[in-house]
Amino acid sequence: MIWETVRLSLRSIRRNVLRSFLTLLGIVIGVAAVIAMLTIGSGTTAKVKSDIAKLGSNLLVVRSGRPAGTGGPGGLDQAVRPLADKDVAALVAHLTGARAISPASQKQVRVIFGTESLTSGVTGTDSAYLDARDWKLVSGRRFSDSETRSGTGVCLIGETVRQQFFGAGEPEGEIIRVNRTSCKIIGLLEPKGYTGFGQDQDNVVLMPLAAYQRRIAGNRDIDNIYVAADDRTPTTELQPRVEDILRDTRRITPDREDDFSIRDMTQIADAMASATTTMTGMLGAVAGVSLLVGGIGIMNIMLVSVTERTREIGIRLAIGAHEKHILIQFLVEATVLSLLGGIIGILIGLALAGLASATLTIPFAPSPAVILLAVGFSALIGMVFGFFPALRGARLDPIDALRHE
């Protein structure tokens, strides 16, 4: 009986292909929007999380300048004292619970090899930087202590730099020019890909801090100090210790505020992930409204359908159809219609999300739960919005219905 009714409804949907299609469109767009939004959203959340993890887990980043608004880009205040070697030395000497402590300064600089050139993020640092940021070498070696101390012209390059200059060739031992100073490549960094903000993390050159300060920056300033917590120490515990040590070594009296800021990357990761999730939810809700509009479209067309087929309903009632038969017939038709729209919408939504994932280089993360929910919801919309028209059809008086032209 139900199968019979489904077949019947498919036939009546086919009978008015254009009208059915236009009706479907509302649901299709609604479901596609919801699916695309949620899928892209969960992909973005995953991307943000992994980006921050790539930056280094349990990482504190110290910058000079007063702390800006929470989570904001703690801007460098010109009037403020920069970080210095002695700050790093104090942390290394007194801080407990840290896995790695590394100073770093960076700048966008033109890097040249042969006839090729590339503007790259050049960072002056030490070997601990790789530990702090959980960054491994694909080949080659780290800076030696003597290279770090004396500021020898050696460097580690990222994957993008390697591709630009060497293609399939071997980069180690080659000499590149970084801002008019020469630099020998001693190692290749593991690829990290793009950040969620589209920044290429592999377009980098690392060199010893002393070399960077002398040959590129022209000063002794340190932009950041990376402090990675060890496995037993949460960053929330480590942060006040870092603050105490730095206040002490920078001689900040208790009545004055910090002239440096400490950012907890874990907290930023959580905040950003939860922001993305909220955003996703909001976009999904907005998309959900279009589903509602789609549902009203279904109701509209079902009302037309019931009116148009009044005579048919009369015949069916005359030859012995119960109210419930008519009700079910039109309910099934509305449900099949919106379910069909839902399925098409899911396919389109997934395709859109796939496309977006490819262009934005975020993971394609379709959620079976969301898809199932979309199917269920579109069926529900058909039932809810199909009910009133169906009831109207079922309540018709067979005599009037038969007289209807």
Partner 1 sequence: MAAALIGFDTVWKSYGQGEAKVHALAGVDLTIKRGEFVAIMGPSGSGKSTAMNIIGCLDTPTAGTYSFMGIDAGRLDRNRRALLRNLYIGFVFQGYNLLPRTTAAENVELPLIYRGAPARERRELAMQALAEVGLVGREHHTPAELSGGQQQRVAIARAIVTTPTLLVADEPTGNLDTARTHEIMELLTRLNRELGLTIAMVTHEADVAEYAERTIRFLDGHVASDSSKLEVA
What SS3 class is residue 125? strand
* Measured distance CA(151)–CA(178) in Å, rounded: 14
Give yes or no for residue 369 binding partner 1 (CB under 8 A): no
Nearer to partner 1, 319 or 369 (CB): 319
Contact code string over 287-326 relative to partner 1, x by CB under 8 A: ------------------------xx-xxxxxxxxxxxx-
Nearer to partner 1, 315 or 380 (CB): 315
Bridge partners of 88?
A: none
Give yes or no for residue 4 binding partner 1 (CB under 8 A): yes
Residues 122-141 close enough to bind partner 1 by CB under 8 A: none
Phi, then psi, of 172 in degrees rounded to 5: -60, 135
String of DSSP letters for 162-195: HHHHHTTS--TT-EEEETTEEEEEEEEEPP--B-
Nearer to partner 1, 270 or 312 (CB): 312
- Using CB under 8 A as the binding criterion, the count of chain residues that bind partner 1 stands at 20
Nearer to partner 1, 89 or 318 (CB): 318
Nearer to partner 1, 84 or 315 (CB): 315
Give yes or no for residue 402 binding partner 1 (CB under 8 A): yes
Contact code string over 379-398 relative to partner 1, x by CB under 8 A: -------------------x
* Measured distance CA(188)–CA(208) in Å, rounded: 15
* Measured distance CA(386)–CA(382) in Å, rounded: 5
Length of the chain: 405
Q: From residue 384, how far is each of 13, 26, 284, 309 by CA, in Å?
A: 18, 15, 21, 20
Contact code string over 14-33 relative to partner 1, x by CB under 8 A: -x------------------
Nearer to partner 1, 110 or 395 (CB): 395
Nearer to partner 1, 1 or 369 (CB): 1
In 3D space, the residue among 191, 199, 201, 161 whose CA is nearest the CA of residue 178 turns out to be 161
Give yes or no for residue 258 binding partner 1 (CB under 8 A): no
Contacts of 110 (CB under 8 A, 6+ apart): 117, 118, 119, 120, 179
Q: Smallest distance from the beta carbon of 337 to partner 1, in angstroms? A: 18
Q: Smallest distance from the beta carbon of 402 to partner 1, in angstroms? A: 7
Phi, then psi, of 355 in degrees rounded to 5: -60, -45
Q: Smallest distance from the beta carbon of 318 to partner 1, in angstroms? A: 5
CA atoms within 13 A on the CB side of 32: 17
Q: Smallest distance from the beta carbon of 405 to partner 1, in angstroms? A: 10
Nearer to partner 1, 149 or 322 (CB): 322
Positions that interact with partner 1 (CB under 8 A): 1, 4, 15, 311-312, 314-325, 398-399, 402
